[in-house]
């Protein structure tokens, strides 16, 4: 780690303990600098801070694992593998138990960190067939627990909704031989209710989306999440980032690995399906306003899947059995009570099944060998939660974090104090916030919030959430960390609702809404339903409910009390082990890579207690190292210790620090370690070492290079003399052989040249082969690139004239074939039209050559641009082509802009408002154009009625395209004429005029004095 200090300005400092200033600003600045360089891990002593990068980093492969195996903790850059390896080797060396506490808020990467630790131990520990089986079960327990215990929340698509503590058991050789899992406070309320933007547990969606058709049919399910009330309350049943089908396959495979047989698997899926059916059970009201169930298909599926009597289940959901001495009375439920009973059953079934699943995983991983084992525990627990509305679940989670923070500070102070005492360094008391006052506020017997909540749940009469709040106000009104709307001052009261109370946690204020506290804490299941579940034919359900004493009248413990008890047991477990910590941080709320939200990070730093931990570590000395390690690194800085120190390491370190000018208050000498108080002292030492290292390296390199160079020179001189002698002899012999060969070749070449015109003989065969090869090589380098290239073919020698002609024809055919095969269907259609245009106009109309390179389009006017009044009239005839034209009036030849539309049967002339003329193709007797460059077109139309309109004179910019399309659509190729001079037109039956054509400087169209239409066009440019 010390080696990385020279790059501290660029990539930050790898250990926050070495910061010059122990302020929140300095910590955040260093964290941001490292995050910007994709360095997501940083130490606070042995605590690892991890920032979620929300992208894949190539730092978790097998090479990285091997790099960190058996290496000193601070020797390499911070990494989760370094912490895992150090915990493992410390456990083996000291034969004691350890645990790794992974904490952080939802989405910070706790679950991923837990997986990385398991993967590291799976790879790094010794391997046998039996051990590989244990590791497989440990690794494959993750997909199962994630499916049944994780869900999508607003902050995380794979949020753990339960706390998990997993012990990995190792034998004395360091082999992973078994494991055991404890689970805490599964969020059972999620089964029946999800907030907007959140989902139920993954397993429900995996079953519906990924389950096989036969399985869904057996379970009475449809492949549609929207069909189930328990899956749609969050309005996000389908999430693009979650592949439920693939995850379903992983879960089924994992269930086999952890030894859950086919029968239990079917029962397990039946329970999951029964919860979905239970959520769809709807109650009706009878005439008295009580809840009833009549022939409910969903209830039938629930009874079938759970293996219970449908009639008794129906009675249990609509009546409460009250025992009075010897009698039993059925009290009907209101609709609200019935819904409560239904949801309570769903939560109980799912919660107990989850506990059963954890138990089966533990049985699968259990090691029955009685020999001594040490363990490393992984505690993946929910982090401090502050939402817009905080309820009972957040209260329990934050209480858990308070307890863990208390433990965290106690263990950190304890380990620091023990190290100081072991090294005989005076312990300096550390000022820190002791959150025992908050823990007592929550858990104190008879006076804490949990005790008051339990009393209110047990109290006869109308106990409500608001009466619970009133009890809290009465009992805790003067507590400095508790406030409500009634107890608050005027300013604070504005931020509190009447049903809220606020606790000042170590991480800050959290406001809790008491609505639902009593129901969630009670979480009662009525006795008649419990009795029914004990009689279930589903083996898992029967096992889950058979643990209770059916004759016991004792009220079961409340959820908060159960959680408090399990938390106290967890604390006892952790206190008996050596602690390691991983603090996970979210870099931003939007899960975008590269974004560092400073306000969000600051908030997490506060509630994870990082500053408190840093202050504890920095209270005395910022840096401590064993004498041997410190002396080995920095001995070049003192002439007395370089290159070898012959005495005790402690004496060498004392000499070294005296030479460096350390002041007495800057360091202390322990029994095995040196303690340095200020980071700046270490930085100065490291900078001096870096400079000294370069000087030493230069001197050593110079000496060594000189020695090596002299020896090399002598060897090379002797070798050169021998090589020169041999080489000269070899070269002389080669030169003689080359000259003899050259004489033969030249003779043969001259003879071949002299007889090149004769038939092939032994004298000229090689020469002719040379000529052929030379010609073919030149031809290969200069082949024509296009069919039209007639000039670049290489002139052949006389003997290859015939062959050259054959090759030229073959090459031309190859290019033609390649070109033809590369023509797309659209281009081919263009060619057909262009050929038709060429047949009609090539050599006849002057403007034709300029049009060849212009591609035809399907239409020049889109349907949206045609008048909406006209469009319905012609749409039935199917529009084939449209083009804008200028029509010249028959009287006066005044130009009018028009749209010309071609359909299957007729051509339509349309203005902006209406249809002006319809020309049937059958009445079109001819089409005339001039041979000049103008764009005038004349339609000759059959006129039998004097009132009928005569010939049509138009100007069209796309003349060739239009006439080609018309000739194809109307099959009128034969009626298109290219006329020289004038075109006669029939204005009406019996009344004629003409269109005259000439050339000039500028194109013009006007009515001439003779009454004809005069069209002046420019001359065609020579191509």
Q: Which residue has the tokens 């030492």?
A: 685
* Marked catalytic residue, from 42, 50, 106, 374: 106
Query: How far is the C-alpha of 603 from the C-alpha of 507, rounded, in Å?
Result: 8
Query: How far is the C-alpha of 511 from the C-alpha of 495, rounded, in Å?
Result: 9
* Marked catalytic residue, from 97, 124, 159, 930: 159
111 an active-site residue? yes
* C-beta separation of 141 from 181 below 8 A: yes
Phi, psi torsion values for 889, nearest 5 degrees: -60, 150
Query: How far is the C-alpha of 49 from the C-alpha of 101, rounded, in Å?
Result: 12
Query: How far is the C-alpha of 342 from the C-alpha of 334, rounded, in Å?
Result: 12
Compute CA distances 568 → 375, 469, 657, 879, whole Å: 20, 26, 48, 83
What letter does residue 642 receive in the DSSP assignment? S
Query: How far is the C-alpha of 709 from the C-alpha of 401, rounded, in Å?
Result: 67
Query: How far is the C-alpha of 802 from the C-alpha of 37, rounded, in Å?
Result: 71
Q: Which residue has the tokens 């215990």?
A: 149
CA dihedral sign, ordered 799, 803, 809, 815: negative
* Marked catalytic residue, from 316, 383, 448, 652: 383
156 an active-site residue? yes
SS3 assignment, position 983 = strand
* C-beta separation of 1016 from 1002 below 8 A: yes
Query: How far is the C-alpha of 682 from the C-alpha of 701, rounded, in Å?
Result: 28
Which stretches does DSSP call E strand in 171-269? 176-184
Cβ neighbors of 119 (< 8 A, separation 6 or more) are 60, 139
SS3 assignment, position 618 = helix
- Residue 656's closest CA among 641, 646, 678? 641
Three-class DSSP labels, 772-805: HHHHHHHHHHCCCCCCCCCCCCCCCCHHHHHHHH
Query: Residue 231: beta bridge partners?
Result: none
* Marked catalytic residue, from 12, 104, 107, 220: 107
Which helix (H) or strand (E) segment holds residue 374: the answer is: strand 374-380
Half-sphere exposure (Cβ direction) of 989: Cα atoms closer than 13 Å:
7
106 an active-site residue? yes
What letter does residue 937 receive in the DSSP assignment? E
CA dihedral sign, ordered 397, 152, 155, 137: positive
- The token duo for 815 is 């290019």
DSSP conformation letters of 881-900: EEEEEEEEPTTT--EEEEEE
- Residue 503's closest CA among 605, 613, 402? 402
SS3 assignment, position 237 = coil
377 an active-site residue? no
* Marked catalytic residue, from 156, 296, 318, 840: 156
SS3 assignment, position 512 = strand
Query: How far is the C-alpha of 996 from the C-alpha of 982, rounded, in Å?
Result: 4
Which stretches does DSSP call E strand in 566-705? 578-586, 623-626, 667-669, 673-676
Compute CA distances 359 → 115, 356, 543, 565, 782, whole Å: 20, 5, 12, 19, 81
434 an active-site residue? no
Query: How far is the C-alpha of 27 from the C-alpha of 13, rounded, in Å?
Result: 10
* Marked catalytic residue, from 42, 141, 153, 160: 160
- The token duo for 510 is 């959290």
- The token duo for 539 is 């083996």
* Marked catalytic residue, from 42, 111, 296, 521: 111
791 burial type by CB count under 10 A (0-12 exposed, 13-18 middle, 19+ buried): exposed
* C-beta separation of 541 from 349 below 8 A: yes
Query: Residue 979: beta bridge partners?
Result: 930
Which helix (H) or strand (E) segment holds residue 41: the answer is: strand 41-44
* Marked catalytic residue, from 2, 146, 198, 385: 385
**Residues noted as catalytic:** 106-107, 111, 156, 159-160, 383, 385
């Amino acid at each position: 780690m010390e080696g990385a200090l020279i790059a501290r300005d660029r990539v930050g400092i790898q250990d926050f303990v070495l910061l010059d200033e122990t302020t929140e600003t300095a910590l955040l600045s260093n964290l941001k600098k490292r995050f910007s360089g994709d360095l997501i891990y940083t130490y606070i002593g042995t605590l690892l801070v991890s920032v979620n990068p929300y992208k894949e980093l190539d730092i978790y492969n097998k090479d990285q694992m091997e790099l960190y195996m058996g290496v000193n903790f601070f020797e390499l850059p911070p990494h989760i593998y370094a912490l895992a390896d150090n915990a493992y080797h410390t456990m083996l060396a000291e034969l004691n138990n350890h645990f790794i506490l992974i904490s952080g808020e939802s989405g910070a990467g706790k679950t991923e960190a837990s997986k990385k630790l398991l993967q590291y131990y799976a790879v790094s520990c010794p391997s046998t067939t039996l051990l590989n089986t244990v590791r497989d079960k440990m690794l494959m327990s993750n997909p199962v627990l994630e499916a049944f215990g994780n869900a999508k929340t607003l902050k995380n698509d794979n949020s753990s909704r339960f706390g998990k503590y997993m012990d990995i058991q190792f034998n004395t050789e360091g082999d992973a031989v078994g494991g055991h899992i404890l689970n805490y406070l599964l969020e059972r309320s999620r089964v029946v209710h999800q907030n907007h933007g959140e989902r139920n547990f993954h397993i429900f969606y995996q079953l519906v989306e990924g389950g096989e058709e036969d399985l869904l049919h057996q379970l009475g399910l449809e492949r549609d999440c929207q069909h189930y009330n328990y899956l749609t309350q969050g309005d996000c049943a389908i999430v693009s980032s979650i592949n439920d089908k693939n995850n379903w396959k992983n879960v089924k495979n994992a269930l086999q690995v952890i030894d859950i047989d086919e029968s239990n698997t079917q029962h397990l899926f039946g329970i999951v399906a029964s919860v979905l059916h239970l959520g769809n059970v709807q109650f009706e009201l009878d005439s008295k306003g009580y809840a009833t169930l009549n022939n409910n298909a969903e209830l039938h599926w629930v009874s079938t899947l759970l293996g219970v009597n449908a009639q008794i289940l129906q009675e249990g959901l609509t009546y409460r059995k009250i025992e009075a001495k010897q009698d039993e009375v059925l009290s009907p439920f209101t609709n609200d009570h019935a819904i409560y009973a239904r949801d309570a059953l769903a939560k109980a079934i799912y919660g107990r099944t989850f506990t059963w699943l954890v138990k089966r995983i533990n049985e699968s991983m259990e090691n029955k060998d009685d020999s001594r084992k040490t363990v490393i525990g992984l505690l993946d627990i929910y982090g401090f939660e502050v939402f817009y509305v905080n309820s009972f679940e957040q209260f329990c989670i934050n209480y858990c974090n308070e307890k863990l923070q208390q433990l965290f500070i106690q263990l950190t102070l304890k380990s620091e104090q023990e190290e100081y005492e072991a090294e005989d360094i005076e312990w300096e008391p550390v000022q820190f916030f002791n959150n025992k006052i908050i823990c007592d506020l929550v858990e104190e017997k008879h006076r804490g919030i949990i005790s008051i909540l339990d009393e209110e749940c047990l109290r006869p009469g109308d106990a409500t959430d608001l009466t619970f709040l009133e009890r809290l106000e009465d009992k805790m009104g003067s507590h400095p960390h508790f406030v409500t709307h009634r107890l608050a001052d005027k300013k604070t009261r504005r931020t509190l609702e009447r049903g809220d109370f606020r606790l000042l946690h170590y991480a800050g204020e959290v406001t809790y809404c008491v609505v639902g506290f009593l129901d969630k804490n009670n979480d009662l299941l009525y006795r008649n339903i419990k009795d029914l579940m004990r009689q279930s034919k589903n083996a898992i359900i029967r096992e889950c409910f058979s643990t209770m004493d059916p004759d016991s009248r004792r009220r079961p413990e409340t959820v908060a009390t159960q959680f408090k008890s399990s938390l106290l047991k967890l604390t006892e477990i952790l206190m008996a082990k050596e602690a390691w910590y991983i603090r996970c941080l979210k870099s931003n709320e939007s899960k975008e890579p590269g974004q560092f939200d400073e306000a969000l990070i600051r908030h997490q730093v506060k509630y994870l207690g990082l500053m408190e931990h840093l202050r504890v570590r920095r209270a005395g000395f910022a840096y401590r190292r064993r004498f041997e390690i410190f002396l080995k690194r920095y001995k070049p800085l003192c002439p007395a210790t370089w290159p070898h120190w012959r005495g005790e390491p402690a004496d060498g370190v004392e000499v070294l620090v005296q030479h460096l000018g350390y002041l007495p208050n800057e360091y202390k000498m322990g029994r095995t370690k040196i303690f340095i108080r200020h980071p700046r002292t270490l930085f100065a030492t490291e900078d001096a070492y870096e400079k000294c290292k370069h000087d030493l390296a230069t001197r050593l390199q110079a000496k060594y290079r000189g020695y090596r160079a002299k020896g090399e020179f002598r060897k090379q001189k002797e070798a050169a003399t021998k090589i020169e002698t041999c080489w000269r002899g070899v070269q002389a012999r080669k030169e003689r052989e080359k000259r003899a060969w050259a004489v033969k070749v030249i003779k043969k070449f001259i003879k071949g040249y002299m007889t090149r015109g004769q038939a092939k003989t032994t004298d000229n065969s090689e020469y002719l082969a040379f000529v052929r090869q030379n010609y073919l090589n030149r031809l290969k380098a200069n082949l024509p690139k296009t069919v039209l290239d007639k000039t670049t073919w290489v002139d052949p020698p006389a003997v290859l004239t015939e062959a050259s002609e054959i090759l030229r024809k073959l090459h031309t055919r190859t290019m033609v074939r390649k070109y033809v095969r590369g023509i797309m269907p659209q281009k081919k259609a263009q060619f057909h039209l262009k050929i038709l245009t060429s047949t009609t106009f090539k050599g006849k109309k002057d403007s034709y050559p300029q049009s060849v390179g212009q591609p035809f389009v399907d239409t020049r006017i889109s349907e949206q641009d045609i008048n909406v009044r006209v469009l319905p009239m012609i749409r039935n005839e199917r529009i084939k082509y449209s083009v804008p034209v200028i029509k010249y009036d028959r009287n006066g030849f005044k130009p009018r802009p028009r749209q010309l539309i071609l359909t299957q049967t007729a051509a339509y002339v349309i203005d902006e408002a209406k249809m002006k003329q319809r020309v049937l193709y059958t009445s079109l007797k001819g089409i005339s154009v001039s041979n000049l460059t103008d764009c005038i077109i004349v339609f000759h139309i059959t006129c039998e009625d004097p009132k009928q309109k005569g010939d049509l004179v138009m100007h069209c910019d796309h003349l060739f395209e239009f006439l080609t399309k018309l000739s194809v659509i109307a099959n009128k190729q034969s009626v298109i004429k290219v006329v020289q001079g004038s075109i006669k037109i029939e204005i009406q039956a019996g009344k004629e005029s003409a269109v005259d054509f000439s050339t000039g400087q500028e194109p013009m169209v006007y009515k001439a004095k003779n009454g004809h239409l005069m069209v002046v066009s420019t001359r065609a440019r020579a191509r």
